[in-house]
Amino acid sequence: MKRLLRAACRVPQEVRLGGVRSQAPGHGAPRRCLSGSGFNVPPSAQFVARPVGICSMMKLPVQASAEGLDAAFVGVPLDTGTSNRPGARFGPRHIRAESVMLRRYNSSTGAAPFDSLRVADVGDVNVNLYNLPDSCRRIRERYGEIVASGCVPLTLGAGAALTSCPASARHGPVGLVHVDAHTDTGDTALGERIYHGTPFRRCVEEGLLDRRRVAQIGLRGSSYAPDPYEYSREQGFRVVPAADCWLKSLVPLMEEVRKQMGDKPVYISFDIDGLDPAYAPGTGTPEIAGLTPTQALEIIQGCRGLNIVGCDLVEVAPIYDASGNTALLGANLLFEMLCVLPKVKTV
């Protein structure tokens, strides 16, 4: 019996599954997991236990720069400037932890991003939690480097006003698919022009957005003004309140959005509070009667074919969701964004 147990427990130093090479469990965390064609791929839980290794997005390799990559996951652990419940600074870490459940292929769409793109986790921006303007400077500098390398950033945390700026500098004013409970077009609060409710007004002022190619989806909640969407409409944005989405598929809407965006560069910004708090309670400014996870998938999958130059998933505040489901949902939505990037193949 002892001999049988010893034989059953012997695993080679290097194992293979479907052309994927990685170190076996018991021999340390895999430094890299490569496909036969040299692409990084998430290691299979059949050979590398999910709790094993460095906490990176989808257990992908971690590297210091985006050089040589087609797409990169990057964290921005920042919640300075939050108006209600803080805690989003812990979002990137928890999204990465929950992302161990994600696998190589998208079974609903057939997308095979790891057969198509060179992808890695490039860590976090070293933000300054004591100084929001300095954090903005650090974020723009880091993203400038990422975008200059020709890499598409997929952001965990922070907001589009900060991370889309380098994309606009490289590509010109970008279109925007924005999912959120709030327009984020406020002007000032207590005299401050930079906080989490102002990013898209600042984007407009800096000429970062192609205003006729902006769609804001899932808007809702009480307001300080009779028409909380007046500024967005004045700019020419497509405004889609959550009430217009209730109990229906958003596939027809996304057909219209694709026509609106055309073939010019597009940025996707997804605030997790766009979803109903029944599904995503772990966020700072929850609003009732929001979108469903199914509708979130319809929106992101409906972006396939667009010229996407950057994406973000923001406002995950894990301390308000002990189940971890909000972070898990965020991880899945980031994977869906990866799956609709240009050049991603299907199987």
Q: What is the CATH number of the domain that holds 190?
A: 3.40.800.10
- Decide if pLDDT at 30 tops 50: no
- Decide if pLDDT at 23 tops 80: no
Q: Are residues 237 and 302 in the same domain?
A: yes
CB within 8 Å of 137: residues ≥ 6 apart: none
Give pLDDT, residue 116.
94
Give pLDDT, residue 37.
62
Domain boundary among 15, 38, 53: 53
- Decide if pLDDT at 75 tops 50: yes
- Decide if pLDDT at 254 tops 50: yes
Give pLDDT, residue 17.
33
pLDDT digits (tens, 9 = 90+) for 240-253: 999 999 999 999 99
Give pLDDT, residue 327.
98
Give pLDDT, residue 12.
37
Higher pLDDT, 197 or 237: 237
- Calculate mean pLDDT across residues 60-84: 94
Q: Are residues 78 and 59 in the same domain?
A: yes
Give pLDDT, residue 26.
34
Give pLDDT, residue 16.
34
Proportion of the chain above pLDDT 70, given as a percent = 87
pLDDT digits (tens, 9 = 90+) for 135-192: 989 999 999 999 999 999 999 997 656 666 677 778 899 999 999 999 999 888 888 8
Q: Are residues 165 and 239 in the same domain?
A: yes
- Calculate mean pLDDT across residues 43-59: 94
Give pLDDT, residue 159.
64
- Calculate mean pLDDT across residues 257-275: 98
d(C-alpha 345, C-alpha 328), whole Å: 25
Q: Which residues constitute the domain of residue 25?
A: 1-53
- Calculate mean pLDDT across residues 187-214: 89
Q: Are residues 88 and 147 in the same domain?
A: yes
Among 115, 148, 155, 195, residue whose Cα is nearest residue 333? 155
pLDDT digits (tens, 9 = 90+) for 280-325: 999 999 999 999 999 999 999 999 999 999 999 999 999 999 999 9
- Decide if pLDDT at 125 tops 50: yes
Q: Are residues 119 and 44 in the same domain?
A: no
d(C-alpha 33, C-alpha 38), whole Å: 9
Give pLDDT, residue 225.
93
Q: Are residues 9 and 71 in the same domain?
A: no
pLDDT digits (tens, 9 = 90+) for 5-15: 344 334 333 33
> What torsion, rounded to 10 degrees, do the Cα atoms 344, 72, 320, 127 define?
-160
Q: Are residues 77 and 5 in the same domain?
A: no
Q: Are residues 110 and 214 in the same domain?
A: yes
Q: Are residues 294 and 181 in the same domain?
A: yes
Q: Are residues 155 and 90 in the same domain?
A: yes
Is 200 within 8 Å of 184 (Cβ atoms)?
Answer: yes
Q: Are residues 141 and 276 in the same domain?
A: yes
Give pLDDT, residue 279.
99
* Reported pTM: 0.89
**How many structural domains is the chain composed of?**
2
Proportion of the chain above pLDDT 90, given as a percent = 78
Q: Are residues 240 and 202 in the same domain?
A: yes
Give pLDDT, residue 33.
56
Angle formed at CA 181 by CA 178 and CA 183, multiple of 5 degrees: 60
Q: Can you say whether the dihedral through the CA atoms of 61, 64, 67, 73 is positive or negative?
A: positive
- Calculate mean pLDDT across residues 56-70: 97
